[in-house]
Amino acid sequence: MRQGVLSRYKQFLDITSNTPMIDMGEGSTPLVRSKFIERQLGCGELYFKLEGCNPTGSFKDRGMVMAVAKAIEGGSRAIICASTGNTSASAAAYGAYCGIKTIVLVPSGNVAKGKMAQALAYGAEVVVVEGTFDQSLEMVRNFSERNSIALVNSVNPHRLEGQKSAAFEIVDDLGDAPEYLFIPVGNAGNITAYWNGFVQYHEVEKSTIKPRMMGFQAEGAAPIVIGEPVLEPKTIASAIRIGNPASWQHAIKARDESGGSIGSVSDKEILEAYKMLSRREGVFGEPASAASVAGLIKMHSNGIDFSDSRIVCVITGSGLKDPDLASEQNDMPLHQLPLDMDAMNRALGSILE
């Protein structure tokens, strides 16, 4: 049986004899070699870390399993978070699995349909707030302090603890760290967690190098790039529509210590990468996830030579999370046919020529 994050990386996590070993099979996600973009850009080696293969379809499960285990260990009977969608889906699933009450706040009108469906299906209390993600996070921080209920956003250090396991897996799979890690940045918890993981594994000599951390925000939601909060963040990549990241300073530290950079990509660049990933690589990530690949393509067109480098792009969540956008962006024709073999031959015969 596949081991979950807590048992697989027990020795690197803050696990005590009182920590419940929750396991929904999270982590151990595929690291898949690129078939097309690697050649197209002339990269040494390019891999995609498919975090959409986690139980709820995003990387959040790695951190959630740890945060919920620690919440239960500490006596909490309820968890709460604000979310652009994936954190709420993950919290709701682990809350259901552990039989604890889950409250999620989501910004109105800005959450992809699949994520909303998940939170409801897992039976969470879903609160839609007339405001942004940043404002919702402020509210849950306040509420959790007053009501001693566990906050499971990435401001909870246990979340980042669990999420660093993805960096461990990459090193375990490749035999060393890659030269570059490309990753989307929203609230900036994940880039922080990956960096912590790479540093920790390097310290115990599991790797000989540490990667440059290459974070990418969406152009209309790029506070770290412009150096100030964005009050009304805008991007098609709703998961990273965040104007004031909680882990801002940690992300800057990861960038600077690793010799990396944090840049931005336009919605157009995100959508191009999104389509290229699914059509040329068979990897259906959500738009926010495609920001990592859009960032790589942009750096390459800015003249950076990746020919001697091993690169990993993190595909943070599944494309199924946002079915509306997938249909909107899908300009392939739909063939409507009667139940008739001749009609089928006429319609499709020419495609195979």
- CA distance linking residue 138 with residue 306, whole number of Å: 40
Q: Which of 41, 65, 71, 185 binds ligand F0G (CB under 6 A)?
A: 185
C-alpha atoms less than 13 angstroms from C-alpha of 12 in its C-beta half-sphere: 23
Nearer to ligand F0G, 6 or 188 (CB): 188
- Under rule CB under 6 A, residue 223 binds ligand F0G: no
CA 333 to chain centre: 30
Contact criterion met (CB below 8 Å) for 260 and 223: no
Stretch that binds ligand F0G, among 10-18, 224-232, 284-292, 299-307 (CB under 6 A): 284-292
Question: Rounded to 5 degrees, what are φ and ψ at 206?
Answer: -80, -20
Find the binding residues for ligand F0G in span 52-71 (CB under 6 A): 58, 60
- Under rule CB under 6 A, residue 283 binds ligand F0G: no
C-alpha atoms less than 13 angstroms from C-alpha of 340 in its C-beta half-sphere: 8
Pairing label, strands 31-33, 45-50: antiparallel
Q: What are the tokens at 288?
A: 């926010």
- CA distance linking residue 268 with residue 290, whole number of Å: 11
Angle, vertex CA 258, rays to CA 255 and CA 263, nearest 5: 35
| Closest approach of ligand F0G to the CB of residue 124, in Å | 13
Q: Which of 240, 262, 270, 312 binds ligand F0G (CB under 6 A)?
A: 240
Nearer to ligand F0G, 110 or 309 (CB): 110
- Under rule CB under 6 A, residue 86 binds ligand F0G: yes
Q: Which of 114, 223, 243, 317 binds ligand F0G (CB under 6 A)?
A: 317
Number of residues that bind ligand F0G (CB under 6 A): 22
Stretch that binds ligand F0G, among 85-93, 117-125, 305-313, 337-345 (CB under 6 A): 85-93
| Closest approach of ligand F0G to the CB of residue 103, in Å | 14
- Under rule CB under 6 A, residue 83 binds ligand F0G: yes
Q: What are the tokens at 224?
A: 């770290």
DSSP H/E element including 127: strand 125-129
Q: What are the tokens at 266?
A: 């336009």
Q: Which of 26, 281, 286, 322 binds ligand F0G (CB under 6 A)?
A: 286
Stretch that binds ligand F0G, among 16-24, 220-228, 285-293, 304-312 (CB under 6 A): 285-293
234's CB contacts (< 8 A; 6+ apart) are: 220, 221, 241
Contacting positions for ligand F0G (CB under 6 A): 58, 60, 83-87, 154, 184-190, 239-240, 286, 288-289, 316-317
